Amino acid sequence: MTLGNLTKASLLLEIGTEELPASFLSNGAKQLYKNITDFLSNNRIEHGDGVYYYTPKRLSVLIHDVAFQQPTQVIEIQGPPLKFSFNEKGEPTQVTYGFLKTHNASIKDVYTKKTDKGEYLYLKKKTPGKNIFELLKENFKQIVLSIEFPKVMRWDINRNLVFVRPIRWLTVIYGDRLVPVTLECIKSTKYTYGSRSYKNKKILITKADRYPKILKKAGVLVSPSERRDVILKRLKELSLEVNSKVVEDHELLDEATNTCESPYPVICEFDAKYLEIPEVVLTTTLKKHLRAFALKSHDCKRLQPYFIVITDTPTCDTKTVKHWYEEAAKARLDDAKFYFEEDLKYSLEKRVEDEKEVIWIEGLGSLFDKTKRLEKLALVIGQTISGVNIKALLRAAYLSKADLLTNMVREKEYTSLQGIIGGVYARLSNEDELVARIIAEQYLPQSTSDSLPQTIEGAILSIADKVDNIVGVFIINEVPSGSVDKFGIRRQANAIFMICLEKKLFIDFKPIVTLNLSYFNLKNNHTDLLEEQIVSFLKDRLRNVFLEQKINYDVVNAILALPEVNPYDLYLRGQALTKFRASSEDFEKLIIGQKRVTNILKTCNTMYHVNPDLFREPEEIQLYNKAQTIKNELDFLVNKRAYLDALELLLKLRVDIDNFFDKVLVMTDDATIRNNRLALLQYIRSLFQKVADLSEIVIS
């Protein structure tokens, strides 16, 4: 198939669906884009840049300068061995004729070539490339259906199709030509559909390149960045009309962008009496129930009695839309006001006793049991860190889970306010301001983009809470597997490490886990195994954190080989080892020595004690004496966490270690001498492992 003189054109692929979940759009479109560009590259189809688009009703990709056809491929084909290819007279044998016939070639096309197995006949065969139409027809189903979504579904008309939502149309165009492909019973066309304002009428895409412009005329902005810009511009204009500014909310902006095809913001108003509700409750009400942006005064000190909603119908009757949104806001704000006022009748402190009647997690006791564990755990951690207000920390720990019993948090639209509303209620109960802040910060961070606790006490309570969650999940054997993490403890472990690294907190979680396990008063004898599993889990998560920070994998292995799980301390060790590797000329020689030490001790399961009186060779005496001279200084540097200096000090042992291995036979027949030399190597290894296990370092 040819398209005249056309060798390159733009390729458009649009999947039209029923309304897609807003949170699935961006990733779905990215995957579609990757699938198509990978398909083109893997099939040797040259192509230029591209862009992906999405709206609630479509995922689409537009790739420019896509070659019409694969380049012709020359393939070298091996034939029969030369010794069987010609007879004594030099004439082709039947084997040769069979080879030529199979590949539609003549004798002049063949040549000989030497291989490891002898000489063979060969020929080169040109294979014409397939065109984009043929390739898409063969691969289209894989391109579309390999997109992964958190949830998928089937529907009546196409029971064999599995996709995030029912697919209603396919638009596949190369240049100005339809690419005829089929997905079950759905056939591609050159048509798409406009917005609701255009009554969803069919729209002809005359040329792939014109796709965004044609849809724009039909009331659809396929570019999410363009929709976002329209929303932001109009939000600013409308807020200025009432002498206000919009309360920034990037999550809400993303959601608004992804829930409309032609955004049309409308400003609405509510009764000023609702401003008596706490600001966070009012903004959450508007956001969760109406997807509305709250407005505040220009000095940002107070909210204003206005909100802006994003409709998807520019041709709507604005007055009618405004009326119904204001009625909906009134109903929701009435509910919020009621919950708030009812909650104030019963203090947080009184609710703590009620926690005894609430199961935290089945098999792990009540919410009150968790509160008591948090008090003890927060105290232990708090006492290891200077400058902590222990009194405020313990008070906050005691009150921390009380807001889970409030009307506000029990209402599902406000569950995101857990902790935050607790801080609000604490202030209104005349608790100390620091106590209120600690309570409000206890769940932070809840994602990698979330802010961290600002107070050191809030950081400690957050860490204690997350450690208790992780330990509890292991006790009930709900350990994460694959992509399944029912209680989100991977995220919580990452959050713990984020806090420790950002706040520069030195906390060893191995004894913390041991202590936390004891607080559960387990009746079985599996606590040692549980502790081992939890520590292993924490180290695995910490490994990922360090690798994401571009610390070399072997350096990560070297620091995680140590028994402690002290994130910030291990980070400092990793940084020191990385710098030492880059600056020391003798680094590799030092590593080789440590690998030799480790290899010899690998099968040694007994710990021996050095007896200097048993040394026989000057090299072992020299190594021991040198190690003894640096030991105290090494301990001093390690205690100061001056790990780079500690590594420089250990480097002084390098020559003596090499001399020891060159001149001393460790595995001598004399068991007493042998064990003493093994004891010396164990001692040397223990000095190096005060910093890291250098035997884990990979050298070229």
pLDDT (average), residues 563-575: 96
The per-residue pLDDT for 86 is 86
The per-residue pLDDT for 111 is 85
Place of tokens 């069979």: 98
The per-residue pLDDT for 118 is 85
Residue type, position 287, single letter: K
Residues contacting 195, CB < 8 A, separation 6+? 218, 219, 220, 261, 262, 312, 313
3-class SS of residue 607: coil
pLDDT of 1 > 70? The answer is no
Residue pair 593/673 in contact (Cβ under 8 Å)? The answer is no
pLDDT tens string 119-175: 888 888 877 888 999 999 999 999 999 999 988 888 877 777 889 999 999 999 999
Task: Give me the residues paired with residue 131 across strands.
Answer: 69
pLDDT band at 481 (very low <50, low <70, confident <90, very high): confident
| DSSP character string of 675-686 | HHHHHHHHHHHH
For the chain, percent of residues with pLDDT exceeding 70: 98
Q: In a 10 Å sphere around its CB, with 0-12 CB exposed, 13-18 middle and 19+ buried, how is residue 216 labelled? A: middle
The per-residue pLDDT for 616 is 92
Give exposure, 649-674, as e/b (b: 16+ Cβ within 10 Å).
Answer: bbbebbbbbbbbbeebebeeeeeebb
Residue 611 CA to residue 597 CA, distance in Å, equals 19
Residue 495 CA to residue 599 CA, distance in Å, equals 37
Q: How many CA atoms lie within 13 A of 427 on its CB side?
A: 12
pLDDT of 198 > 70? The answer is no
Query: Is-cis flag, bond preceding 445, omega within 30?
Result: yes
pLDDT (average), residues 484-507: 94
Which one, of 647, 657, 639, 540, lies nearest residue 596 by Cα? 657
Residue type, position 182, single letter: T
Residue pair 389/434 in contact (Cβ under 8 Å)? The answer is yes
Q: How many CA atoms lie within 13 A of 373 on its CB side?
A: 27
pLDDT tens string 523-557: 776 788 999 999 999 999 999 999 999 999 999 99
pLDDT of 664 > 50? The answer is yes
The per-residue pLDDT for 95 is 87
Residue 447 CA to residue 435 CA, distance in Å, equals 23
pLDDT of 390 > 70? The answer is yes
Cα 237 to chain centroid distance, Å, stands at 37
> Could you give the C-alpha distances from 352 to 341, 364, 439, 585, in angstroms and in order?
19, 17, 14, 62
pLDDT of 491 > 80? The answer is yes
The per-residue pLDDT for 128 is 80
Q: What share of residues in the chain are helix, strand, coil (percent, to 5)?
A: 55, 15, 30
Pairing of strands 8-17, 167-174: antiparallel
pLDDT band at 7 (very low <50, low <70, confident <90, very high): confident
Q: What is the CA radius of gyration of the chain?
A: 35
The per-residue pLDDT for 18 is 92
The per-residue pLDDT for 375 is 97
Residue 348 CA to residue 436 CA, distance in Å, equals 11
For the chain, percent of residues with pLDDT exceeding 90: 76
Residue pair 382/493 in contact (Cβ under 8 Å)? The answer is no
Residue pair 172/179 in contact (Cβ under 8 Å)? The answer is yes
pLDDT (average), residues 570-595: 92
pLDDT tens string 297-331: 988 789 999 999 999 988 889 999 999 999 999 99
pLDDT tens string 328-354: 999 999 999 999 999 999 999 999 999
Residue 461 CA to residue 467 CA, distance in Å, equals 10
- Angle among Cα 394, 396, 397 to the nearest 5 degrees reads 65
Helix (H), strand (E) at residue 231: helix 224-241
pLDDT tens string 499-532: 999 999 999 999 999 999 999 988 776 788 999 9
Structure tokens at 654: 């390098």
The per-residue pLDDT for 2 is 45
Give exposure, 239-263, as e/b (b: 16+ Cβ within 10 Å).
Answer: beeeebbbbeeeebbbbbbbbbbbb
* Candidate from 42-51, 408-417, 680-689 with smallest mean pLDDT: 408-417
Residues contacting 545, CB < 8 A, separation 6+? 494, 497, 498, 501, 567
Residue 424 CA to residue 416 CA, distance in Å, equals 14
pLDDT band at 40 (very low <50, low <70, confident <90, very high): very high
pLDDT (average), residues 96-115: 85
Residue 215 CA to residue 689 CA, distance in Å, equals 65
